[in-house]
Amino acid sequence: MKRSRHKGGRSTRQAVALAALVIVGASVVRADAADIKPRRVIKDHDPNFNTLWVDTVNNEILVGNDAQETLQVYSRTANGLVAPLREIKSPPATDTTAPHETFVTFPGQVIIDPVNNEILSVGNDIADLITTYRRTADGNETPIRRINGRLQTAGRFNRSWGLALDTANDEIAVTHQKRNRISIFARTTDSDTNPAATPKRTISGSRTGLADPHGIFIDTTVNEIYVVNSGESAPSNAAGTRDGTNGPPSITVYARTASGNVAPKRTIQGNLTQLDHARPLFVDSGRHEIVVADGSPTDAILFFDQNANGNVAPVRVLQGANTGLSNPTGVFVDAINNELLVANWGNHTITVYPRGAVGNIKPTRVISPTKSRVAAGIGNPGAIYVDPERDEIGVVN
């Protein structure tokens, strides 16, 4: 999620040369010497909470943990230092005697479906896989269904992070960051039993305004789909092809049954919106608000009028040192218990606030399995460099 990098100069050239040397050196290591114990390891021993969902029927919270690649379930009313009630996880990678059956890999959006007693998760980055489990699944449990986004029939996902559930119409929607596309599947789609399964419809093309889409939400009370776009590597010409430019982040809204290259009904975008590092969003239909978790460095929860359009400011903002927000990457509005719940990737916590929270207020509860509030900050690492001048290691996430 976070990035740590230095600008160019001599040290950058040295780092590139060193990286090349490491790659060349790795290619000539003997096969019988390849499994070498590292001198030291930098990693998070505690879970990094990457998105969350609340089951208001069974009073449970589901979070995706991308540090150890697991799905954890906590009591909704938990407070303070607590252990998860259950955890869907494979054995450690070092354990080659047990099968790794969960297929949990860098979880993006997670969802609890109390109607069908299921848990859904989407694997981001290299996984491109939607997995469904029993709601009470625990341990090294095999999914009951999968949608393999690497299959051509499924439309080749390419970094899917957002997932939305529509129980009224029995559908799920998933975002594809690098393809600037939304795919809508029947909820029960299973590519393991039917490899030829295809999406019911897709939203993509130059008119859609999709630009590195992440979070997605379906509001069946108004029959609309809401998408938060990071704006990175956005298409900037009429053909919708990439030219390396970046567009500003946005929220785009579509009809629930939209298909093809359709323009959004509304777009929230511009300097007044304060959108920066937004990933997830949630629609509070009772208060007619779009709720967005804006990660670091903003560390804020932004609330927009549900019918907002254009370059508009949030109707209110939750932000400040007292809030405990730290790179928030998950948000959920519990309309039953009038609470706002946030997953904080930066400090291993779930923070809970009143539903109408605003300003720099303290959370009513903080849920965490650890006392540590310091994260290594390594999430989905894509590259590493060594800066010998500053005696530092940099990781691009």
At 83-114, the pLDDT tens digits run: 999 999 988 766 666 677 899 988 999 999 99
Q: Which residues contact 133 (CB under 8 A, 6 or more apart)?
A: 71, 88, 102, 118, 119, 120, 121, 141, 143, 144
Tokens of 343: 């997953």
pLDDT digits (tens, 9 = 90+) for 25-80: 444 445 455 566 676 666 667 889 989 999 999 999 999 998 889 999 999 999 99
Residue 351 dihedral angles phi and psi, to the nearest 5°: -110, 145
Query: What's the CA gap between 37 and 60, in Å, rounded?
Result: 40
Tell the residue number behind the tokens 């114990």, with chain if given.
37
pLDDT of residue 90: 86
Per-residue burial over 361-397, b = 16 or more CB atoms within 10 Å of its CB, e = otherwise: eebebbbbbeeeeebebbbeeeeebebeeeeeebbee
Question: CB 169: neighbour CB atoms within 10 A?
Answer: 14
Query: In terms of pLDDT, which residue wins out, 168 or 385?
Result: 168
The chain-wide mean pLDDT, for the chain, equals: 85
Question: CB 35: neighbour CB atoms within 10 A?
Answer: 6
Confidence of residue 154 (pLDDT cuts 50, 70, 90): confident
Tokens of 195: 């490899």
Query: What's the CA gap between 73 and 87, in Å, rounded?
Result: 6
Choice among 190-199, 229-238, 279-288 with the minimum mean pLDDT: 229-238
pLDDT of residue 67: 85
Which of 109, 112, 26 shows the shortest CA–CA distance to 61?
A: 112
Cα-based torsion angle of the residue sequence 144, 213, 332, 54 in order, rounded to the nearest 10 degrees: 0
What is the average pLDDT across 253-278? 96
DSSP per-residue string spanning 55-85: ETTTTEEEEEETTTTEEEEEETT--EE---S
For the cut 50, the answer to whether the pLDDT of residue 19 exceeds it is: no
Helix and strand element counts for the chain (H, E)? 1, 27
Which CA distances in Å does 58 have to 74, 114, 130, 320, 348?
Answer: 11, 8, 23, 32, 23
What is the average pLDDT across 185-209? 96
Residue 18 dihedral angles phi and psi, to the nearest 5°: -65, -40
Q: Which residues contact 58 (CB under 8 A, 6 or more apart)?
A: 112, 114, 135
Residue 297: cis peptide before it, omega within 30 degrees of 0 = yes
